[in-house]
Amino acid sequence: MHTKSKAFALASLLAALALLLRLPTVVGAAARQVPRVRAVVVVFDGLRPDYVTATRMPNLYAFGASGVVSTAHHSLFPTVTRVNASALITGAAPGTHGVLDNIIYLPAVDSTHTLNTGDAADMMRADRALRGRLLMVPTLPDLLGAQGKRVVVASAGSSGSAYLLGGAGRAIILQNELVLPQRYESMVRTMLGPPPVDASPNLAANARAVDALLRIGIDTIDTDVGFLWLSDPDHTAHAAGVGSVMADSSIRAADREFGRLLKGLHDRGLDGKVDVFVVSDHGFSTHAGRDAPIGAVLAPFRDRIVVAGGAVYVRRGGDSTRKDVVRALQAAAPVGAIFTKARSDGAAMEAGTLPFDSIGWSNSRSGDVLFSADWSHAMNTAFMTGRTEQAGTAGHGTSSPYDIVATMIARGPHLRVAVRTNVASSNADIAPTLLLLLGMPRAPSMTGRALTELLRDGPGLASVRMTRDSQVAVITLPAPSSLRYRVTVYRTRVGGTLYFDSTRTLRSPH
């Protein structure tokens, strides 16, 4: 063969080999043009269902009109952020996942101080001390990671909330103060800039979280499941109040960010390919405004107890202290429902209280007593109903239906269209539903259920059987109060899944 012909043939062979060597990369790049994300969960912190109107939240309202809207979605009790962030990622009630309130007491970590679950540093310290068992059950990142799938959490909430929603650091976490794994920190700062200053409404932080999910979680990391946490309206409403102009402004702004998320999914060719769930971690109530009325009830016992959120841990005095604490709470008008550990026969330890098992709060980490502030249907100056006997302007955490009833709206290729459902659901049901959509079985540790009735090929809504029950505890207190204290807990069951609806407390002269 002529020398030039040999050279040409050799060059052609080398070019062909180079193309073959590059082919997987080229094919891989082409395959990634449409991201592989299959599901997105959006959490509006503290979004009451009655906030979602066509004028206040046009994007979310229109989204729901073409999807599924629940009128019976539940926050897990205590109705606080980190209890429900943990439920969303584990599919379990607090009595199973082990994060029992926003403020927790873990003697194995610190026997003298409580821990703030909103602080990632506290949560990381606890997780190290507990050898990775801060969350006591497998998380979505654990389960999906075993199948080679990725979970990304983009959050405008607290660092501790992001850490727990990320399965105690097992997901990829993109939050203003916390980026995990740390190797993503420089990329996050380069792509998104420095973290914004905290504000009310939290406009910049919410916008940055949307950017983090779209530009980093979906475009760069190519996640399978994304979580987006918007910190309003909760962030603003605590100080501004339910129905206030400022809180309303924060809701409208958060809805605009949701609209931007939907547009981002559309621009990436993901219409009809991604199931999007919108939930809130809890509802919201107007507070009575007095200065620590319940705190004053417990003040005489401070040398014998530790108070962590609504939980009381007896450190000295044993059964006698527990009884004294319970009687003081039962006699105090601002206090609502009271729960204690169960005896061997299933009844509560203290008369006039209900057992932890009745609300899914029984755990080796549980306190000796759990209580809630009382509530009413009272209307505030903005004509919003729901008041709790707590200090401050507004908030959540109680067993009031205004705190328990949460938002759940969903739309996607696997979900029903233009449907409203009154079938009970909760934040613990989201994880098993995601697993079902991804073709994976529900984990045995999950107390929540897959919401099959929401699926296009699922059972009809009318075929889902719900039963309701209640439990009552009554006591007549000794002098000097001589009050009759009565507490009732209301619950709903769907199959074997229990939903805690609310409580009612009555006091009357004996």
Give pLDDT tens digits for 217-265: 999 999 999 999 999 999 999 999 999 999 999 999 999 999 999 999 9
264-272 long-range Cβ contacts below 8 angstroms, 24+ apart: 264/210, 264/214, 264/218, 265/40, 265/214, 268/34, 268/35, 268/214, 268/218, 268/219, 269/33, 269/34, 270/34, 270/35, 270/37, 272/413
- The closest of 301, 292, 306 to 324, measured between CA atoms, is 301
Q: Residue 19 above 70 pLDDT? A: no
Does a structural domain hold residue 16? no
Q: Looking at the structure, do residues 410 and 262 belong to the same domain, yes or no?
A: yes
- What percent of the chain is predicted at pLDDT more than 70? 94
Does a structural domain hold residue 13? no
Q: Looking at the structure, do residues 255 and 384 belong to the same domain, yes or no?
A: no
- What percent of the chain is predicted at pLDDT more than 90? 91
Q: Looking at the structure, do residues 308 and 419 belong to the same domain, yes or no?
A: no
Q: Residue 1 above 90 pLDDT? A: no
Q: Which residues contact 148 (CB under 8 A, 6 or more apart)?
A: none
- Establish how many alpha carbons lie within 13 A of residue 36's alpha carbon, considering only the half-sphere containing its beta carbon: 16
Q: What CATH number corresponds to the domain at position 256?
A: 3.40.720.10
Domain count along the chain:
2
Q: Looking at the structure, do residues 304 and 277 belong to the same domain, yes or no?
A: no
Do 308 and 111 meet the contact criterion of CB atoms below 8 Å apart?
A: no
Give the CA angle between residues 390, 75, 65 to the nearest 5°: 120
- Establish how many alpha carbons lie within 13 A of residue 252's alpha carbon, considering only the half-sphere containing its beta carbon: 10
- The closest of 407, 479, 487, 498 to 64, measured between CA atoms, is 407
- Give the per-residue pLDDT at 303: 96
Q: Which residues contact 390 (CB under 8 A, 6 or more apart)?
A: 285, 287, 288, 294, 334, 373, 397, 398
Q: Which of 461, 479, 498 is the last residue of a domain?
A: 461
Q: Looking at the structure, do residues 401 and 417 belong to the same domain, yes or no?
A: yes
Q: Residue 391 above 60 pLDDT? A: yes
Q: Looking at the structure, do residues 156 and 236 belong to the same domain, yes or no?
A: yes
Q: Looking at the structure, do residues 174 and 71 belong to the same domain, yes or no?
A: yes
Do 182 and 188 meet the contact criterion of CB atoms below 8 Å apart?
A: no
Does a structural domain hold residue 43? yes
Q: Looking at the structure, do residues 471 and 435 belong to the same domain, yes or no?
A: no
Does a structural domain hold residue 6? no
Euclidean distance between the first and the last CA atom of the chain, given in angstroms as a whole number = 115
- The closest of 449, 432, 501, 452 to 89, measured between CA atoms, is 432
Tell whether the torsion through CA atoms of 229, 235, 236 and 237 is positive or negative.
Answer: positive
Does a structural domain hold residue 171? yes
Q: Looking at the structure, do residues 448 and 320 belong to the same domain, yes or no?
A: no
Output phi, psi for 480, to 5 deg. -90, -15
Q: Looking at the structure, do residues 376 and 423 belong to the same domain, yes or no?
A: no
Task: Work out the pLDDT band at 24, boundaries 50, 70, 90.
Answer: very low
Does a structural domain hold residue 424? yes
pLDDT digits (tens, 9 = 90+) for 87-105: 999 999 999 999 999 999 9
DSSP string, 212-267: IIIIIIITTS--SEEEEEE-TTHHHHHHH-TT-HHHHHHHHHHHHHHHHHHHHHHH
pTM value?
Answer: 0.93
Domain with 311, as residue range(s), is 293-393+466-509
Does a structural domain hold residue 9? no
141-144-148-150 Cα dihedral, nearest 10 degrees: -50
Q: Looking at the structure, do residues 268 and 311 belong to the same domain, yes or no?
A: no
Q: Looking at the structure, do residues 298 and 217 belong to the same domain, yes or no?
A: no
User: What interhelical angle do 185-192 and 203-211 show, nearest 10?
Assistant: 120
Distance CA(100)–CA(121), nearest Å, equals 18
Task: Work out the pLDDT band at 12, boundaries 50, 70, 90.
Answer: very low
User: Tokens 């609310």 belong to which residue?
Assistant: 502
Do 214 and 264 meet the contact criterion of CB atoms below 8 Å apart?
A: yes
How much is the average pLDDT of 465-485? 95
Does a structural domain hold residue 49? yes
- Give the per-residue pLDDT at 510: 77
How much is the average pLDDT of 16-29? 37
Q: Which of 425, 443, 461 is the last residue of a domain?
A: 461
Q: Which residues contact 307 (CB under 8 A, 6 or more apart)?
A: 114, 298, 313
